[in-house]
């Protein structure tokens, strides 16, 4: 398969580096990482250990391929979509956390839009080097749900290089379930500066459960079948399975980088406001978490207006 990976950061470098074992891969990223990959290849450490030689470029325009994977942070999706719109792809697939990415891509692109969730752990350690901290699972499918032959081909392409990947027909529900996990875990661990496992007890557990329950209520208001019980169980299962991990939002806060709060807790707040016209839907925990993270971003000078 001919695959462009737009966003050669942690996740994109892991996926692109491993996919390059069997497929034609072009990474779109920034220097010094792109130059390092061109000079000496891309080294994957940890699980999937290998060095591969994907093409790498800092110019994401006028590219073509079977599929483009979007692995930029959610606040960079619009810029990625504009660049991808100058190219030619059968499908573009968001593998990002948070919601709204697929709509942003669909607004700019004419090809099929796929959505995906990835629970792999990836950290770019140095230019040209990415560490896989957890193999995880990848799920892909048509962003609006239903069967998609391109999603099936993409899942087979991931499987061929050793990822555990499934093509599914219920992607909208999967995205809301993942949103509940991220709404429950990311902001609380970032603000409290604790590992994911700290959410299994005490005040942090109450907050994470409440944020996940609120997310499930908003999902149901959008006719997505996600029970409070399932949302809470997913948060607790992920917190347990990744107990010693530093969540991506905590990593962002500790590195003084902008977070994805707008696409996670902020999305829950906005969706609740829309639904509220008909239903009595308030999401005070997500609202408070969003406000605190935005206040931190303002104070750190990393938030764009």
**Residues carrying an active site annotation:** 178
Q: Nearest approach, Cβ of 235 to ligand KPL (angstroms)? A: 9
Q: Residue 199: which of 252, 256, 237, 251 has the closest Cα? A: 237
Q: Between 50 and 221, whose beta carbon lies closer to ligand NAD?
A: 50
Q: Which does 80 bind (CB under 5 to 8 A by kind): ligand NAD, ligand KPL, none?
A: ligand NAD
35/31 Cα distance (integer angstroms): 6
What is the DSSP code string of 27-38?
EE--TTHHHHHH
User: Looking at beta carbons only, is 7 or 172 nearer to ligand NAD?
Assistant: 7
Residue 38 near residue 156 (C-beta atoms within 8 A): no
Residue 48: name the closest of 121, 151, 157, 118 by CA. 121
- For ligand NAD, which residue has the nearest CB? 9
> Least distance to ligand NAD from the beta carbon of 82, Å?
9
- Three-state DSSP at 123 gives strand
Smallest distance from the beta carbon of 305 to ligand NAD, in angstroms?
A: 19
Let me know if 277 is exposed, middle or buried by CB neighbors in 10 A (0-12, 13-18, 19+): exposed
Partner interacting with residue 10 (select from ligand NAD, ligand KPL, none; CB below 5-8 Å by kind): ligand NAD
> Measured from the CB atom, is 217 or 289 closer to ligand NAD?
289
| Comparison of 104 and 196: residue with beta carbon closer to ligand KPL | 196
- Footprint of ligand NAD (CB under 6 A): 7-12, 28-30, 60, 71-74, 76, 79-80, 83, 96-97, 118, 120-122, 124, 248, 260
Provide the 3-class DSSP secondary structure of residue 159. helix
């Amino acid at each position: 398969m001919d695959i462009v990976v737009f966003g050669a950061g942690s996740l994109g470098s892991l996926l692109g580096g491993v996919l390059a074992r069997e497929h034609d891969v072009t990474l779109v990223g920034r220097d010094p990482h792109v130059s390092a990959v061109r000079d000496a290849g891309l080294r994957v450490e940890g699980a999937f250990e290998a060095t591969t030689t994907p093409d790498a470029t800092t110019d994401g325009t006028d590219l073509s391929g079977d599929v483009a994977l979007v692995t930029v942070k959610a606040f960079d999706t619009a810029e990625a979509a504009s660049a991808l719109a100058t190219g030619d792809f059968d499908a573009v697939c968001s593998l990002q956390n948070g919601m709204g990415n697929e709509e942003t891509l669909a607004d700019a692109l004419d090809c099929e839009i796929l959505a995906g969730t990835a629970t792999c752990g990836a950290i770019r350690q140095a230019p040209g080097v990415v560490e896989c901290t957890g193999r995880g699972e990848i799920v892909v499918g048509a962003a609006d749900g239903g069967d998609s032959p391109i999603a099936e081909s993409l899942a087979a392409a991931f499987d061929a290089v050793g990822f555990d990947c499934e093509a599914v027909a219920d992607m909208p529900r999967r995205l809301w379930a993942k949103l509940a996990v991220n709404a429950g875990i990311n902001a609380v661990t970032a603000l409290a500066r604790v590992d994911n496992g700290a959410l299994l007890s005490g005040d942090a557990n109450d907050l994470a459960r409440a944020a996940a329950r609120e997310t499930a209520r908003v999902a149901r208001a959008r006719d997505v079948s996600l029970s409070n019980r399932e949302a809470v169980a997913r948060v607790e299962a992920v917190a347990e399975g990744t107990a010693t991990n530093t969540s991506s939002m905590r990593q962002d806060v500790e590195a003084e980088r902008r977070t994805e709060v707008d696409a996670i807790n902020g999305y829950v707040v906005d969706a609740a406001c829309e639904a509220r016209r008909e239903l009595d839907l308030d999401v005070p925990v997500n609202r408070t978490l969003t406000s605190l993270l935005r206040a931190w971003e303002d104070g750190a000078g990393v938030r764009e207006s």
